[in-house]
Amino acid sequence: MVGTVLTWATLQQTGEFWLAFLIAPLIGFCLGAIIQRVVIQPTSNVAALSIVATFGLSLILQESVRLTFGPTPRRILPPIQGTFSLFGIDYEIYRLFAAMVAVLALVGFFLFLHRTKLGTWMRAVRHDRDTAIAMGIPAQRVYVFTFAIGFALAALGGVVAAPITTVDFRGGVDILPFCFMAVIIGGLGNLPGTAAAAILLAVLEGIIQSFADPTAARIASLVLMSAVLLLRPQGLFKGLTR
């Protein structure tokens, strides 16, 4: 939601859509760092309080956007016009561009995790916080950077999705169940598994939607998630990736 709204605001102020690819992630990074220090860190030791705090924060963000920009959904025209045909079906060129950006962002993030010092610190703190601190890794700063990077990537996703979806204060709410299912199926704490599960769910729902109602596709995803919880609660891809 933040990314789509920042995209619309950038377009209104500058008339340039592509500038949002720089502005939205930067603002998202700063907001993420502030939120982690002000909201997440003080409540990190109490799970229930963290859930309440983050839920309340989402409501604050939504209502702030509605107060500032109004409740009316807005549309952004795709900056890349045209379609191409594949298997007799016409696809928008911008959607292909969006898919390429998503793949590049995912690959870039994995390279960052495994090829940079900060990425190594993030993985070390994730696996064993106490040992990482004993080795001199600043865990609190790593937490701030991790949340900030996550917020920036979410803002980037909002920029890419803005011309595809509507821009309003409830943006992104519909994708939360999909994200939840991807995390459960992929395995908690398993980033490669979560990415693989997201692709699996997208393909599954896409195939089902080609001959059935979208509701049936979402039901199929929920059934798959339930089956994973019952048969492999550690996640479908847990142990298959490192």
pLDDT tens-digit series, residues 134-156? 989 999 999 999 999 999 999 99
Between CA 168 and CA 133, with CA 30 as vertex, the angle to 5 degrees is 130
C-alpha 74 chain-centroid distance = 21
Q: Which residues does 27 contact at the CB level (< 8 Å), separation at least 6?
A: 2, 6, 155
pLDDT-derived band at 240 (thresholds 50, 70, 90) equals low
Q: Which residues does 67 contact at the CB level (< 8 Å), separation at least 6?
A: none
pLDDT-derived band at 23 (thresholds 50, 70, 90) equals very high
Q: Which residue carries 């390279």 as its tokens?
A: 111
pLDDT recorded at residue 239: 59
9 versus 85: the higher-pLDDT residue is 9
Q: What is the mean pLDDT of the chain?
A: 87
pLDDT-derived band at 46 (thresholds 50, 70, 90) equals confident
Q: How far apart are CA 41 and CA 159, in angstroms?
A: 27
Whether the pLDDT of residue 89 is over 80: the answer is no
For 91-108, what is each residue's pLDDT tens digit? 788 988 998 999 999 899
**Which ranges of 116-231 would DSSP assign to H, the alpha helix?**
117-127, 129-134, 139-161, 176-186, 191-209, 214-231
pLDDT recorded at residue 97: 92
DSSP single-letter state for residue 65: H
pLDDT-derived band at 50 (thresholds 50, 70, 90) equals confident
User: Could you tell me the pTM of the whole model?
Assistant: 0.84
Where along the chain do its domains lie?
A: 1-79+92-171, 173-242
